[in-house]
Amino acid sequence: MSRLKLALVLLSALGAQALARADDGYRLWLRYDRLPATTLHAAYAAAARQVILVSASGADTAVDGAATDELCAGMKGLLGVETRVTRESGAAQPDLGDEGYTVSLSTRGGSPAFVVTANRDQGLLYGAFALLREIRLDRPESGFPLRSAPGIRRRILDHWDNLNRTVERGYAGASLWEWFVLPDYISPRYRDYARACASLGINGSVLTNVNADSLVLTPEWLRKVAAIAGALRPYGVRVYLSARFSSPLEIGGLKTADPLDPAVASWWRDKVSEIHALIPDFGGFLVKANSEGQPGPQSYGRSHADGANMLADALAPFGGIVMWRAFVYEADAKRDRCMQAYDEFMPLDGKFRPNVVLQIKNGPLDFQPREPFHPLFGAMPRTSLGLELQITQEYLGQGTHLAFLAPLWKETLDSDTYRPGPGSTVARVVEGSPGGNELSCIAGVANTGTDRDWTGHPLAQANWYAFGRLAWDPSVSSARIADEWVRLTLGSDPRVTEPVERMLLGSREAVVDYTGPLGLAGVFAEGHHYGPEPWLDQGRPDWTSVYYHRADQRGIGFDRTTSGSGALAQYSPEISRLWGDPATCPEDLLLWFHHADWGRTMASGRTLWDEFCLRYQSGVDAVRDWRRTWDSLKPLIDPETHDHVGALLAIQERDACWWRDASLLYFQTFSRRPLPPGVEAPAHDLAYYRSIRLRWMPGNPSGK
């Protein structure tokens, strides 16, 4: 062989090897690469040659077809076998509902087989994904049979996507929805998106921004929506739309949008009928009303219940729902912003239609790195209450910082409201207990976009995964979710799984430390919310930082006790007593509820100022430790993924230092105390940090 031919052969081989190893993140956690030959895998392979789908409905639908396709592709990729999928009829199992499943190892004709059982085709699809996930996870301590059913019926991704394809608070490229070429061109990415959602049990997608545009409800655009719905339908993902309350004026030719006006109600009934003629499984509307400039029923002297019920009546004949957001507040400097939603909605308990769910953020402010749970979850037993989480990291480093959010969400889900009694956790309230509400809903503001890896930061895929797993089963631990995602995405080598799981599980707390420890909140840069601006004191009071931290020479924090705003009274007496006393208030919420002295002695024995400073330093130190850990994994991680994450961790360390230095220099002007030993001296003076101005940040289309 000539030298030239030999060189070409070697280059070809190296190229093929690089291509085989290169991982651009597109496959997410659905990687059906061949498993190593083990005794367990050989047993799985024997059973995988025949899979029986047992359904009480007996239906043969597109969803059933998606389950069959997934099983055949997955078994071929993981185990190298051709799978024969057959159907059988079975008795209904009430405890499984419409979406639950069982997966077991059995025998058919003397040969091993996998059996997936469900009442309906949707359960078969979820069972198929669960079967493949269990095989892929390769966990000796688990195994079959599997039995699972969701506690929350509507598990939805909210896309804050605009019709011009910008994404508000989106950090992974443009919107997935290619409106200009719809309905004629259906991107293959829609199917892949729906498949990823279905693998987690996510069964709904709100396509458009809560800051809604009436245009999407016009006939031309509804045909585009219908095309997307058709692509998502085989995976059981129903389409929803954000509805602009003033649409009857803007596209309907009416002179009012008053919800009690018969002409307005008639217009909405006709519009919903038009939508359902195009999209038979249309899920309903998400509404942001009388909030941050959005129109709503209060513009006509009507209540939120009046507005929600009018839309609910239009949707009821088709099984649709209204998700009415509780994120409302006025520019009222005299009233604690964190109290306003409770004050506005609590008196309306029991006045909403059965197909209305009040969608409430996890905390009373705005998706901060740490907040107490929203008091409305313990205040409206006669109303269906949905939980709104933010998967996209608006306040947690956006597209550049590692922040695994399962621990944040678990804090909320596991919080006990004590209403009507102990054990009334937020998770139980959202599931419909203890009030007995049948409509249950959980929504996550999506972190997806057109970036090849879907989420911008490769490790941010773990948050999409975590939302789906917790939406299906709120009792799953953060550690289990992290372990699953790492194994499914980066492989089962313990040299990788153990250190990466430690990074994930510690990341949210590290971000809290370097952005706002001890319950500090609301100190983010104006508009884009990337970086610190604790000195912000211009504009609407509740859009400034000084409104929230209230630092002075005595101390720092927002007094929400009876001597302050009184916000603690919105919680149960048990919580009010616990959190109302600085001695028993969890230190992680101290500055949320109390104005504490700089010299206060903390549990560590240090002063509040020293503890405050050392928490900032701890956040920086954690990121540095991750960089060392990640660097050590280079031989074990796909090069493309390793380089990408490594570069982002370098940015995160730089930003963490920026947060620490800018924040401590500013707050030091009040405390007048030196930085304690162990805290690094700032790289610049305060004037330098105050001069930083960022523009045209991703996820902030206005550029402000």
- Residues designated catalytic: 292, 366, 394
User: Which of 626, 638, 628, 623 shows the shortest CA–CA distance to 493?
Assistant: 638
Cα–Cα distance measured from residue 404 to residue 391, given in angstroms and rounded to the nearest whole number:
10
Residue recorded with tokens 């789906």: 468
> Does residue 418 come out as left (phi exceeding 0), alpha (psi in the -120 to 50 range) or beta?
left
* HEC readout, 210-261: CCCCHHHHCHHHHHHHHHHHHHHHHHCCEEEEECCCCHHHHCCCCCCCCCCC
Instruction: List the alpha helices (DSSP H) in 377-523.
Output: 406-413, 426-431, 461-472, 478-490, 494-515
Q: Measured between alpha carbons, how far is 514 from 516 in angstroms, rounded to an integer?
A: 6
Residue type, 267: W
- 112 vs 47: CA distance, rounded Å: 5
Instruction: Give the β-pairing of 146-148 and 111-118.
Output: unpaired
Six-digit token pair at 298?
């209060």
Indicate the DSSP class of residue 372.
P
Contact residues for 261 (Cβ-Cβ < 8 A; gap 6+):
254
Helix (H, G, I), strand (E, B), or coil: what is residue 511?
helix
Whether the ω angle into residue 145 lies within 30 degrees of 0, i.e. cis, is yes
Using an 8 Å Cβ cutoff, are 322 and 315 in contact? yes
Beta bridge partner(s), residue 241 = 285
**Dihedral of alpha carbons 524, 624, 26, 485, sign:** negative
**Geometric angle at alpha carbon 218, from 215 and 221, rounded to 5°:** 80
Q: According to DSSP H, which parts of 491-607 are helical? A: 494-515, 546-549, 573-580, 590-593
**Cα–Cα distances in angstroms (integers) from residue 436 to residues 163, 247, 431, in the given order:** 38, 34, 9
SS3 556: strand
CA dist., res. 182 & res. 350, Å (int): 41
- Among 177, 143, 148, CA closest to 160: 177
Give the C-alpha distances (Å, rounded to integers) separating 651 from 468, 633, 656, 692: 28, 19, 9, 16
Report the b/e string of 135-152 with b at 16+ CB within 10 A: bbebeeeeebebbbbbbb
Strand ranges (E), 254-334: 284-287, 321-325
* Residue 178: burial class (beta carbons within 10 Å; 0-12, 13-18, 19+): middle
Of 462, 457, 463, the residue nearest 367 (C-alpha) = 463
